[in-house]
């Protein structure tokens, strides 16, 4: 694991945004376009504001989500709402966004629509930004869910699966482990001492069903981006 530690969340927000912008520019220079898969939650919001101001050809960038709560895009729990409010503005307003919530009544019924939409995004993804919960979940690969074995199965046939956490609200749509790993660059974005403690627990053990972030850390050269 590569470690980029910042002295403060403010320093992280601007330094990490600049780092992501560099990778996106490299992708555009090399292939004509670039993809960015982001996570929801609270951690990325300040960084998104900084990223939205970065000078690059956002019209060549497609942005999508590592996971989504199966709620309307107007709901405060919606990751799409958060990304629209914090990232898809300023210069980044020119990026194309592929959301995950569709008109299907349930996340399980919505998988097919998501699978068809993701075909617009070339793989490997250029950048995936992951977060991590106190229970070691990442994206919506929750250790408590009945779907965790499918999510961590590298041969799972679909890039998305519907997940019902028992310790957090809402059905989710999540990229599978295999889909997340199909990326040129994976960042793990954490802030606070508490998340560092959880990360150290993850690094100290091997049971991926207990802490699904281990499945990513074991297989990818993840760059940890952290501030206290
Ligand atoms: O939509 C989500 O909930 C996520 O993608 C999830 O995996 C998140 O990254 C972690 O739960 C950390 O969330 P916080 O940043 O709010 O701590």
Residue 92: per-residue pLDDT: 98
Residue 87: per-residue pLDDT: 98
Q: Which domain holds residue 106?
A: 2-176+189-215+222-227
- Report how far residue 149's alpha carbon sits from residue 66's, in angstroms, rounded to the nearest whole number: 18
| Banded pLDDT at 174 (limits 50, 70, 90) | very high
| ipTM of model | 0.97
Over residues 178-197, the pLDDT tens digits come to 999 999 999 999 999 999 99
| Banded pLDDT at 37 (limits 50, 70, 90) | very high
Residue 103: per-residue pLDDT: 98
Q: Does 183 map to a domain? A: no
> Averaged over 32-51, what is the pLDDT?
98
Q: Does 52 map to a domain? A: yes
Q: Does 157 map to a domain? A: yes
| Residue 179 host element (H or E) | helix 177-181
Regarding pTM above 0.95, the answer is: yes
Beta bridge partners of 226: 5, 190
Q: Does 184 map to a domain? A: no
For the CA of 137, the closest atom of ligand 1 is: 7
Per the structure block, which two tokens stand in for 173? 């749509």
Q: Closest Cα to atom 14, ligand 1: which residue?
A: 41
> Averaged over 21-39, what is the pLDDT?
98
**Count of the separate structural domains present in the chain:** 1
Torsion from C-alpha of 92, 43, 215, 193, nearest 10 degrees: 150
What is the CA(219)–ligand 1 centre distance, in A? 21
What is the CA(66)–ligand 1 centre distance, in A? 10
Over residues 127-171, the pLDDT tens digits come to 999 999 999 999 999 999 999 999 999 999 999 999 999 999 999
Testing ligand 1's pocket by substitution, the residue of 45, 131, 160, 186 carrying the most ligand atoms inside 8 A of its CB is 131
What is the CA(41)–ligand 1 centre distance, in A? 4
Over residues 56-92, the pLDDT tens digits come to 999 999 999 999 999 999 999 999 999 999 999 999 9
- Indicate the SS3 state at residue 206: coil
What is the CA(131)–ligand 1 centre distance, in A? 5
- Report how far residue 11's alpha carbon sits from residue 33's, in angstroms, rounded to the nearest whole number: 28
The CATH number linked to 47 is 3.40.50.1360
Q: Please name the residue that has the structure tokens 């793990």.
A: 188
Residue 76: per-residue pLDDT: 97
Computed over every residue of the chain, the mean pLDDT equals: 98
Cα 41 to its chain centre, rounded Å, is 10
What is the CA(67)–ligand 1 centre distance, in A? 9
Q: Does 141 map to a domain? A: yes
Q: Does 85 map to a domain? A: yes
Q: Does 182 map to a domain? A: no
* Helices vs strands, H then E, count in the chain: 8, 10
Q: Closest Cα to atom 13, ligand 1: which residue?
A: 41
**Cβ of 50: how many Cβ atoms within 10 Å?**
21
């Amino acid at each position: 694991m590569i470690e980029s530690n910042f002295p403060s969340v403010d320093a992280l927000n601007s330094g990490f945004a600049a780092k992501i912008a560099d990778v996106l520019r490299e992708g555009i220079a090399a292939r004509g376009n670039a993809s960015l898969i982001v996570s929801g939650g609270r951690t990325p919001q300040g960084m998104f504001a900084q990223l939205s101001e970065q000078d690059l050809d956002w019209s060549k960038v497609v942005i999508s989500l590592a996971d989504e709560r199966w709620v309307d895009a107007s709901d405060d729990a919606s990751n799409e709402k958060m990304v629209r409010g914090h990232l898809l503005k300023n210069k980044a307003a020119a990026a194309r966004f592929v959301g995950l919530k569709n008109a299907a009544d349930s996340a399980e019924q919505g998988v097919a629509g998501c699978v068809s939409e993701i075909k617009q995004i070339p793989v490997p993804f250029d950048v995936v930004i992951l977060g991590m919960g106190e229970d070691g979940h990442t994206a919506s690969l929750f250790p408590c869910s009945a779907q965790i074995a499918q999510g961590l199965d590298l041969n799972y046939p679909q890039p998305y699966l519907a997940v019902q956490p028992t310790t957090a609200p809402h059905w989710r749509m999540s990229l599978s482990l295999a889909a997340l790993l199909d990326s040129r660059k994976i960042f793990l974005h954490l802030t606070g001492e508490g998340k560092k403690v959880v990360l150290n627990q993850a690094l100290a053990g091997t049971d991926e069903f207990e802490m699904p972030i281990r499945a990513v850390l074991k297989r990818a050269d993840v760059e940890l981006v952290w501030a206290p």
